[in-house]
Amino acid sequence: LAKTTQPISMDSYEGQEVNITCSHNNIATNDYITWYQQFPSQGPRFIIQGYKTKVTNEVASLFIPADRKSSTLSLPRVSLSDTAVYYCLVGDIWMVTGGGNKLTFGTGTQLKVEL
């Protein structure tokens, strides 16, 4: 079971880059690393996904070292609207079948962005 650990909270200011790290020491070979964003009273929303090395999209970058035991979500130039809880999910849906590894969400990181 790939248990994940994230910081409980982080504070930042508008315009800064924010890096949130997730530790997943027991990650399995088939596991993907996926990050979600959640605002109050809403379901989580997909941000980015990776397997190894670096992935970048229009909103974030994801850095994964060679051993894959951690990953870092990087949010460039945050704004007030980025204030949310960020979840790291490690797992592979197909491993849920047959009683294999379960999809594991971390407890999330509350990011607060101020002016």
Partner 1 sequence: DVKVTQSSRYLVKRTGEKVFLECVQDMDHENMFWYRQDPGLGLRLIYFSYDVKMKEKGDIPEGYSVSREKKERFSLILESASTNQTSMYLCASSGSSKNIQYFGAGTRLSVL
Interacting residues toward partner 1 by CB under 8 A: 32, 34, 36, 41-46, 49, 87, 91-94, 96-99, 102-108
Collapse the DSSP code of 94 into the 3-class scheme (helix H, G, I; strand E, B; otherwise coil) and give the result: helix
Closest distance of CB 69 from partner 1, Å: 19
The pair of three-digit structure tokens given for residue 93, joined into one six-digit string: 């849906």
* Chain centroid, CA 86 distance in Å: 6
Residue among 91, 98, 95 at smallest CA distance from 26: 91
CA distances from 58 to 4, 32, 74 (A): 25, 20, 12
Closest distance of CB 95 from partner 1, Å: 10
Closest distance of CB 22 from partner 1, Å: 12
Tokens 């229009």 sit on residue:
58
Which CB sits closer to partner 1, 5 or 16? 5
Which CB sits closer to partner 1, 67 or 98? 98
Closest distance of CB 56 from partner 1, Å: 16
Which CB sits closer to partner 1, 18 or 36? 36
